[in-house]
């Protein structure tokens, strides 16, 4: 059976192609036409038009600002690496910082204890922060570190700065990291912290970092907006 290499384009895909061409002539921050005006201009139903707009939102070509829709800036492209994403973003000329969500200390459950090579119930420090670039909330990061490795961290650490740099000052040397990455949707709390709706696609990165002796340093859960972030990886054969 022959395979059709040129499948028929759906109506919303035809509209999407036209809207892509429209966006090519606009600049970040420019207002995007209303759904009603676009549906009338393309002679399609509002539902067909919404499908095309949904794809543009997921692709990061447009973004919601309150009730308005505007042309989005290019996605933030950062490397998958051992280090601070805040510092990496600043190195690319972007403004970047962290917003504090909260600190907590609690006893590790069996799963976390196994990840961090500590006894169940051992105290763990948890730091939750929102990662921003150019005043846009793009990531939510939760870091868990055995309290014994970072005494006084909650009192001395400036949450806006690089945690990796703070750990280096404390003599903690990173040796390797193990990452797992998947795509998910945010829950209601996560969506609120990132000022998006719960249909926004996310990259979920779970990382366990180890020092140069192979002892776990941290377990980190990072949720990044798929419409605003792209990650790159370089691998040598």
- Say if residue 90 is in the same domain as residue 201: yes
Neighbour count for residue 202 (Cβ, 10 Å): 23
Tokens representing 162 are: 């690089």
18: CATH: 1.10.10.10
Rounded CA separation 23/34 (Å): 14
Rounded CA separation 44/38 (Å): 9
Looking only at the bridges linking them, the beta strands covering 216-225 and 136-146 are antiparallel
Rounded CA separation 52/8 (Å): 16
102: CATH: 3.40.1410.10
| pTM of the entire predicted model | 0.82
Based on C-alpha coordinates, what's the Rg of the chain?
22
- Say if residue 170 is in the same domain as residue 221: yes
**List of E strands, 17-122:** 62-65, 68-71, 76-79, 96-107
| DSSP notation for 60-83 | TSEEEETTEEEEPPPPEEEE--SS
In this prediction, residue 65 carries a pLDDT of 78
CB 12 within 8 A of CB 38: no
| Tens digit of each residue's pLDDT (9 = 90 or more) over 79-136 | 777 777 777 777 777 777 899 999 999 999 999 999 999 999 999 999 999 999 888 8
The answer to whether residue 5 is domain-embedded is: no
Picking from 30, 85, 46, the residue whose alpha carbon sits closest to that of residue 228 is 85
Q: Is the dihedral of CA 189, 194, 195, 196 positive or negative?
A: negative
- Say if residue 96 is in the same domain as residue 58: no
The answer to whether residue 17 is domain-embedded is: yes
Rounded CA separation 65/227 (Å): 14
Tokens representing 232 are: 């790159």
- Say if residue 114 is in the same domain as residue 193: yes
The answer to whether residue 153 is domain-embedded is: yes
CB 61 within 8 A of CB 23: yes
In this prediction, residue 7 carries a pLDDT of 58
How many contiguous H segments (helices) and E segments (strands) does the chain have? 8, 10
Residues of the domain holding 45 = 11-71
- Say if residue 215 is in the same domain as residue 104: yes
* Residues in the chain where the model's pLDDT stays below 70: 1-9
CA dihedral 192, 194, 196, 201 (to 10 degrees): -120
Rounded CA separation 99/186 (Å): 18
- Say if residue 134 is in the same domain as residue 185: yes
Neighbour count for residue 21 (Cβ, 10 Å): 9
- Say if residue 86 is in the same domain as residue 187: yes
Place of tokens 């799963």: 111
Tokens representing 93 are: 């000329």
- Say if residue 207 is in the same domain as residue 227: yes
């Amino acid at each position: 059976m022959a395979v059709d290499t040129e499948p028929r384009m759906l109506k919303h895909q035809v509209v999407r192609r036209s809207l892509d061409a429209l966006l090519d002539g606009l600049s970040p921050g420019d207002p995007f036409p209303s759904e009603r005006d676009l549906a009338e201009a393309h002679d399609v139903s509002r539902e067909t038009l919404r499908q095309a707009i949904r794809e543009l939102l997921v692709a990061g070509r447009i973004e919601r600002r309150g009730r308005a829709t505007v042309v989005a800036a290019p996605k933030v492209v950062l490397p998958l690496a051992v280090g601070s994403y805040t510092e990496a973003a600043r190195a690319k000329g972007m403004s970047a910082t962290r917003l504090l969500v909260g600190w907590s200390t609690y006893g590790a459950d069996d799963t976390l204890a196994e990840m961090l090579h500590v006894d169940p119930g051992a105290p763990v420090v948890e730091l939750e922060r929102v990662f921003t670039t150019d005043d846009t909330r793009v990531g939510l990061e939760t870091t868990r570190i055995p309290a014994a490795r970072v005494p006084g961290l909650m009192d001395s650490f400036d949450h806006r700065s690089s945690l990796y740099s703070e750990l280096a000052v404390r003599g903690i040397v990173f040796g390797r990291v193990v990452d797992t990455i998947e795509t998910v949707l945010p829950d209601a709390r996560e969506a609120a912290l990132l000022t998006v709706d719960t249909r926004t696609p996310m990259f979920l990165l779970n990382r366990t970092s180890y020092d140069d002796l192979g002892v776990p340093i941290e377990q980190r859960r990072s949720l990044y907006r798929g419409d605003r972030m792209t990650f790159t990886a370089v691998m040598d054969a």
